[in-house]
């Protein structure tokens, strides 16, 4: 009897365990069902389709790119080289006679005026010229004295007309000899005193006191007070795109100066095969003549052309391509690229003004890939948030009624409801040519 009771008690315990297991299984299945049901409707759960589910993970992996329409503009390409600053008016001063330098009155960098004494030279001809002048002066004085005495005799009839004429000729000759000797002396004195032929700046002074100079010796260089200019050399390709009046710039010690091209040589220099260009520098008087500067000129120009950001162009076997955005999809378009610089590139063919060219690099840019357009992901997020709020609202409330309103947006649909982003999407499709 006791054995039978034990068996019955064991059976009861097994039934209880089975029932408990069954209840647990039912609860787990119910929970899973409810979780799946809520996630599929876009509820707040983390199941598939919910904000934290697989669909959101996939959305997070979609690249967001920027895109813009091609623009019409001007593209310029510049070329830089070195140039030499020159004075618009330069005078090279040479010695006019041989001799020893006895004085130097100016230094490099001094400003001088026309006629100002620069240096003195004790020319070897000055003393000789002075002696000749003194001798001619004595002869002149003697001839004039003789002429005065003979005049009294001629008036008294003591000498003939012929003799009187001879004394007159002697006096005239002595006068001419003296004037010639004095002129030569004055010239030698002038040669010994070197003066500035123009007003300007002493750029070089190549002599010192006690130096012996000759007529081939350069004494100094004076740059005029006019505007400075720069000369430089360019290739034939660059030269063909330069014209008189074109703007250019130079840089010296971090300072930029504007200039205007004044001379474009059409003949190549024999020494380097390049073409010499000259430009005026109106605001560069502080630059030293002969200094080296960096010159920048516009070597190529394309005006009123279709442009896109240069970073938007990709090359495949030398062929240019861009990626365009259309209805959330990427399309690869072959283009013909013209002139370009560091910012913009000219598009000769392949695009229209309505195309949205993707300017953001992404590893997900390939034909047919899906991307989000920058600035529109905010609209999409707002639409999802509005939908979640409507789904979570009580069914009997006013909000619940509005959330269940027709999708065409009735009069009861408030501003900012799900209908607004939908309209924005339609506008976006119409801009990009989508359906």
216 and 269, same domain (yes or no)? no
110 closest CA partner among 215, 214, 222, 263: 222
pLDDT at 252 over 90: yes
Q: Give the pLDDT confidence score for residue 136 in this predicted structure.
A: 85
Residue 50 lies in a domain: no
**Count of structural domains within the chain:** 4
156 and 166, same domain (yes or no)? yes
* DSSP per position, 116-164: -EEEEEEETHHHHHHHHHHHHHHHHHHHHHHHHHHHHHHHHT-S-HHHH
Cβ atoms < 10 Å from Cβ of 287: 20
CB 349 within 8 A of CB 335: yes
Instruction: Give the pTM.
Output: 0.48
98 and 197, same domain (yes or no)? yes
Residue 47 lies in a domain: no
pLDDT at 250 over 90: yes
What's the pLDDT tens digit per position in 378-423? 555 555 555 555 555 444 434 433 333 333 333 333 333 333 333 3
CATH number of the domain that residue 118 is part of: 2.40.50.100
pLDDT at 46 over 60: no
Residue 217 lies in a domain: yes
Lowest mean pLDDT among 66-75, 91-100, 344-353: 91-100
271 and 174, same domain (yes or no)? no
What's the pLDDT tens digit per position in 143-177? 888 888 788 777 777 778 888 888 888 888 888 98
Lowest mean pLDDT among 28-37, 195-204, 306-315, 347-356: 28-37
- Chain CA centroid to CA 139, Å: 77
229 and 325, same domain (yes or no)? no
CB 232 within 8 A of CB 82: yes
217 and 146, same domain (yes or no)? yes
Please, how many CA atoms are within 13 Å of residue 258, restricted to the half-sphere of its CB? Answer: 4
Q: Give the pLDDT confidence score for residue 17 in this predicted structure.
A: 64
Domain membership of residue 347 as a residue range:
64-78+307-332+343-371
240 and 183, same domain (yes or no)? no
Provide the H-helix boundaries in 233-315: 236-239
Q: Give the pLDDT confidence score for residue 5 in this predicted structure.
A: 56
Q: Mean pLDDT, to the nearest integer, of 365-385?
A: 74
As beta bridge partners, residue 213 has 99
CATH number of the domain that residue 260 is part of: 2.40.30.170
pLDDT at 199 over 60: yes
């Amino acid at each position: 009897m006791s054995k039978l009771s034990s068996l019955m008690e064991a059976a009861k315990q097994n039934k209880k365990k089975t029932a408990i297991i069954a209840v647990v299984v039912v609860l787990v299945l119910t929970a899973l069902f409810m979780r799946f049901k809520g996630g599929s409707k876009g509820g707040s759960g983390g199941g598939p389709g919910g904000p934290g589910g697989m669909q959101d993970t996939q959305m997070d992996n979609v690249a967001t790119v920027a895109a813009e329409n091609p623009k019409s503009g001007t593209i310029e390409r510049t070329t830089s080289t070195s140039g030499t600053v020159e004075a618009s008016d330069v005078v090279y001063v040479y010695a006019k006679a041989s001799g020893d330098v006895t004085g130097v009155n100016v230094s490099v960098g001094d400003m001088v005026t026309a006629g100002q004494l620069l240096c003195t030279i004790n020319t070897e001809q000055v003393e000789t010229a002075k002696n000749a002048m003194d001798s001619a002066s004595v002869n002149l004085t003697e001839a004039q004295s003789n002429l005065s005495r003979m005049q009294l005799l001629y008036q008294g009839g003591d000498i003939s007309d012929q003799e009187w004429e001879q004394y007159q000729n002697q006096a005239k000759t002595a006068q001419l000899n003296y004037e010639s000797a004095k002129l030569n002396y004055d010239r030698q004195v002038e040669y010994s005193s070197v003066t500035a032929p123009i007003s300007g700046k002493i750029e070089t002074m190549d002599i010192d006191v006690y130096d012996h100079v000759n007529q081939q010796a350069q004494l100094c260089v004076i740059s005029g007070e006019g505007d400075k200019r720069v000369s430089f050399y360019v290739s034939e390709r660059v030269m063909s795109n330069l014209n008189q009046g074109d703007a250019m710039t130079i840089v010296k010690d971090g300072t930029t100066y504007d200039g205007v091209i004044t001379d474009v040589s059409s003949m190549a220099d024999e020494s380097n095969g390049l073409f010499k260009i000259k430009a005026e520098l109106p605001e560069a008087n502080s630059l030293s003549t002969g200094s080296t500067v960096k010159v920048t000129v516009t070597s190529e120009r394309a005006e009123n052309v279709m442009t896109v950001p240069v970073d938007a162009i990709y090359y495949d076997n030398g062929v240019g391509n861009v990626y365009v955005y259309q209805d959330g999809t990427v399309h690869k378009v072959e283009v013909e690229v013209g002139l370009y610089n560091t910012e913009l590139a000219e598009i000769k063919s392949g695009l229209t003004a309505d195309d949205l060219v993707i300017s953001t690099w992404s590893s997900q840019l390939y034909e047919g890939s899906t991307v989000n357009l920058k600035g529109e992901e905010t609209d999409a997020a707002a639409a999802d948030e509005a939908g979640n709020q409507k789904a979570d609202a009580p069914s009997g409330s006013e909000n619940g009624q509005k959330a269940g309103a027709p999708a065409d947006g009735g009069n009861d649909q408030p501003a900012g409801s799900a209908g607004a982003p939908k309209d924005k999407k339609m506008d976006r499709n119409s801009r990009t040519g989508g359906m």
